[in-house]
Structure 1
Amino acid sequence: MIIKSKNKQLDLTTPQVMGILNVTPDSFSDGGKFTTIERAVEQAEQMIRAGASIIDVGGESTRPGAPDVELEEELQRVIPIIQAIREKHDVWISIDTSKAEVMRQAVEAGADLINDVRALQEPGALEVAAQANVPICLMHMQGQPRTMQSNPTYNHVLDDIKHFLDERITACESAGISRDQLILDPGFGFGKTFPHNYHLLANLEELHKLGLPLLVGMSRKSMLFKLLEKSPSEVIGASIACATIAATKGAHIIRVHDVAETMDAVKIVSITAENK
């Protein structure tokens, strides 16, 4: 399985690692650490050296309870950093946003992929994504970041997620977006309880029935640190365990904070699969 963007392509035959670059003051794990261009580029370069195939740049926190960020502020946070990374590196750059104008300017600045937690449901997002002609990751989220963890309920979490993603695939195709440009993310921690998250992880292979690449992100999330009664920075081992399970179950892209450790896990999973 291969995804293509502009003049590059990414082979998903083995799992690829997406490095998280939050350029926000309030993200749950690393907020405020990479808000200057210099520090953000340095972190991106560290993740590239560690083996990240994609750098995911985000300018608005989507942690539970996170406040909204105005358009101009989000643009000021992400566009200069995307430009600075692109000037130095040919790595895939992903823009983590739900705003149509941020998508448009980010792709013009050098982003290769749109990663949208709201699955192109915000005003103008479908149209801009279709015009951008780059791969798009559609994520499932029940509710909105401010309220998504208040009381998430499902008839059947896996079936409900598959139904939502299938509807968004149809919406994308109707807007002129080719199916082979789509990537799916079940949205661990986005409007889901502990049982929902772990049932989803245990049955992740069910989502392959949709026939598209899967992106997963569990790195340092509350499903880990609250369960283990630790801080986000203390659950690297648990994050690697989840990444390993996901890779074993066929996840194509794994979104993480700790790239080097995840790369080690992915290599072990891959070589084990080759020697089966």
Structure 2
Amino acid sequence: MSADTPSLGIISPVRRIGRREFDFERQVAIMAIVNRTPNSFHDRGRTYALDSAVAAARKAVAEGADWVDVGGFAFSADQEQIPAEEEIERVVPVIVQVRAVTDAVISVDTHRAEVARAAIKAGADVINDTNGLREPGIAETAAATGTSVVVTHSLGGPGRRIARPSYADVVTEVAAFLRERVEFALKAGIAPDRIIIDPGHDLNKNTYHSLELTRRLDEITSMGYPTLVALSNKDFIGETLDRPQGERTEGTIAANVVAILKGARVLRVHDVAATVASVRMTEAVLGWRGPIAPAHNL
């Protein structure tokens, strides 16, 4: 079977991303979130300082993260716009220092081509674009460098306010958007085995939309591209369980396990250690890996 032949529905399930190889037929990659922003929705600036961001990334890798996602501009519209130069100043030093100490995958969470270029030069392996490759030049940057991309659904993109988002059928519309943006990526020269998709839970979506996306996630994963889900501590979990930001770990784990069963293969998370344990258990139950320390009863 060739590398480009879908197997169990996944296009090129065995992938080399940066310095690591993943088999998405039987493996879930865990992406740790490191936001060098003063206003990220969960950590509220705890990793804004450079030393704090680098320490958080190193801790995440030590706890078992396969991947570190570095961001310098929050998605929320409740922030001041910053120039690309400032975003570069936030993310590049983190990437340089993390790259020096780990072979884990590093992605840059950005929608700007100039930020992506600077991040790749600093050692990033992936462009994680919550704007769905709509900014001029970003798809061409990925194609020219051979960088993998995460193509994410959102209505307005980072920093843009969408009041009361509405969908006739959120899953159908998200899937149609992702198909169109994937086609755009392919035409721009990005190889199929460099594309990952993300339905964008809570990005211009309310709680009912995000629950529906999770319940019907197989309609997204059936597109064939490895699917990333970013569910960690999001408002749809808080509103579903009536839990504040600091009390959503159990809900996050439950939603992530459901997503895995529906075909998700990359989880973007805050709580790495808890996620690693839940994912390893899920993989073992599915028969993808054996127990780490089985008792050998003769």
TM-score w.r.t. length of structure 2:
0.88
Change (3 A) 1:7 1:16: closer
1:65 aligns to what?
78
1:209 is the counterpart of 2:209: no
Alpha-carbon separation, structure 1, partners of 2:247 and 2:281: 23
5+ residue gaps, structure 1, are none
Alpha-carbon separation, structure 1, partners of 2:201 and 2:77: 12
Change (3 A) 1:217 1:7: closer
Letter aligned with residue 237 of structure 2:
L
> How do 1:51-200 and structure 2 match up within 5 A?
51-200=64-213
Alpha-carbon separation, structure 2, partners of 1:60 and 1:11: 31
Structure 1, residues 33-70: CA drift from partner, whole Å, max 9, x if none? Answer: 11223221211111111110000000001135333221
1:233 is the counterpart of 2:246: yes
1:10 aligns to what?
22
Secondary structure of the 1:150 match is coil
Structure 1, residues 173-203: CA drift from partner, whole Å, max 9, x if none? Answer: 1111111110000000011121111111011
5+ residue gaps, structure 2, are 1-12, 289-298
Alpha-carbon separation, structure 1, partners of 2:269 and 2:157: 22
Letter aligned with residue 23 of structure 2:
D
1:223 aligns to what?
236
1:40 is the counterpart of 2:33: no
Secondary structure of the 1:88 match is coil
Give the CA deviation at 1:228.
Answer: 2.9
2:276 aligns to what?
263
Q: Please identify the structure whose Cα radius of gyration is greater.
A: 2
Alpha-carbon separation, structure 2, partners of 1:42 and 1:263: 19
* Count of residues in Structure 1 that have an aligned counterpart in Structure 2: 275
Query: Percent identity at matched positions?
Result: 35
1:253 aligns to what?
266
Change (3 A) 1:192 1:18: same
Task: Give the superposed CA RMSD.
Answer: 1.5
TM-score w.r.t. length of structure 1:
0.95
